[in-house]
Amino acid sequence: MSELQAGQSAEPLSVPRAQQRSQRFWYRDLLVALAAFVLLAILPLFFGSKALLDFVIRCSAFGLFATSLNLLVGYTGMISFGHGMFFGLGAYGFGLIMQKTGVPVPVAFLATLAITAVVATVIGAICVRLKEIYFAFVTLAFQMLIHSTILSWVSLTGGDQGLRGGIPRPVFLGLDLSNHIHLYITSCALLVIGLLAMRQITQSPFGYTLRMIRDNAGRASFIGIDVWRAKLTIFVLAALFATTGGVVMSLFVSGAYPEFAYWTISGEGIFINMLGGISTFLGPMVGTVLLLILNDTVTRLTEYYGIVLGIVILFFAIGLRKGLMDFVVEWYAQRGGNGGRD
């Protein structure tokens, strides 16, 4: 609801000012992104530990995935419970193209994006006209369809063994992704570029159209917005970023496993969003870092990971009723700032 209030103060009617404002935001976002990238890039100079770099790479993969899910959940109000299928599709698509054709890495990456775009358009065209819980479960069913296809198409995907034998990573213009530092820098770059692109989507007029659809789809429709098309567009865009997360993951583990396409990935994505908060752009990123830390600590301490995770979820869902960043933003707003809400 916080965005509803923020939207009221944004003076949506004065178009020139809105444009000026969005331009100012663009420079600010670009600066923040550059600073974040430089910070991440020089990190290995100070902390050379492989575990830390691995952690950042995993954060990149899941962060891209979770933030793209927030485009649907937080900005458009479409609760997808099958977003993980695109994560899996990215990992398998990229891995298979590299294994079967041996094209340069960027070509394979673009081809993976193209495949995802086609698949997401077909699935989205069927799903986006459904509302709320129907949308959630039909996306979930598609996730399971893709998962069972991966399991049963053994000759191509290796079935439940996953895509094994490693993913070949030929050197491209001096970029050697089998080198750990190169992989790290590439993941960070993909993360920062991805986040910046998603930020631009949310700040664009289209992004505000999405918020309007979330708050009142009927009104959006009355003033002439094609709701179906807008929802389909954001569904496909979000799928592309989720796929990028999957590509990073497959590069990191040098393979792809059926778990990447299993429903629990979608469940974790939803939970990450909840944990970090869906009312700020960076909430899912915070949630990703929290979940991965939680994940690593709990699995070390107990084999009953589900119970601990479940109790943490309950604490956030019933206890706080909001995510961590929502909390921080509210606290900041009470102190008199605007809290950087969008």
Q: Which is nearer to another protein, 157 or 233 (CB)?
A: 157
141 binds another protein (CB under 8 A): yes
Q: Exposed (0-12), middle (13-18) or buried (19+): which is 31, by Cβ within 10 Å?
A: exposed
Of the residues 23, 317, 327, 331, which one makes contact with another protein according to CB under 8 A: 317
Binding mask 296-315 for another protein (x = CB under 8 A): --------xxxx-xxx-xx-
Q: Report the run of H or E that residue 47 belongs to, with start and end.
A: none
Closest listed residue to residue 25, CA positions, set 205, 228, 154: 205
Of the residues 100, 107, 134, 216, which one makes contact with another protein according to CB under 8 A: 134
Question: If DSSP codes are grouped into helix, strand and coil, which group holds residue 237?
Answer: helix
Give the integer Cα–Cα distance in Å for 284 and 70. Answer: 7
- The token pair at 206 is 């289209």
Of the residues 108, 167, 270, 289, which one makes contact with another protein according to CB under 8 A: 270
The distance from CA 24 to its chain's CA centroid, rounded to whole angstroms, is 25
Q: CB of 277 within 8 A of CB of 296?
A: no
Task: Report CA torsion sign: 186, 191, 194, 195.
Answer: negative
CB of 80 to another protein, least distance (A): 11
Q: CB of 308 within 8 A of CB of 319?
A: no
Locus of tokens 């699935």: 123
CB of 264 to another protein, least distance (A): 9
With CB under 8 A, what is the number of residues at the site for another protein? Answer: 43
Give the integer Cα–Cα distance in Å for 159 and 150. Answer: 6
- Give, as ranges, the residues between 77 and 116 that touch another protein (CB under 8 A): 79, 81
316 binds another protein (CB under 8 A): yes
Q: Which is nearer to another protein, 13 or 318 (CB)?
A: 318
- Give, as ranges, the residues between 275 and 294 that touch another protein (CB under 8 A): 278
Of the residues 15, 50, 110, 132, which one makes contact with another protein according to CB under 8 A: 132
- Give, as ranges, the residues between 186 and 245 that touch another protein (CB under 8 A): none
Which chain residues interact with another protein by CB under 8 A? 73, 79, 81, 126, 129-134, 136-138, 140-142, 144-145, 148-149, 152-153, 155-156, 263, 267, 270-271, 274, 278, 304-307, 309-311, 313-314, 316-318, 321
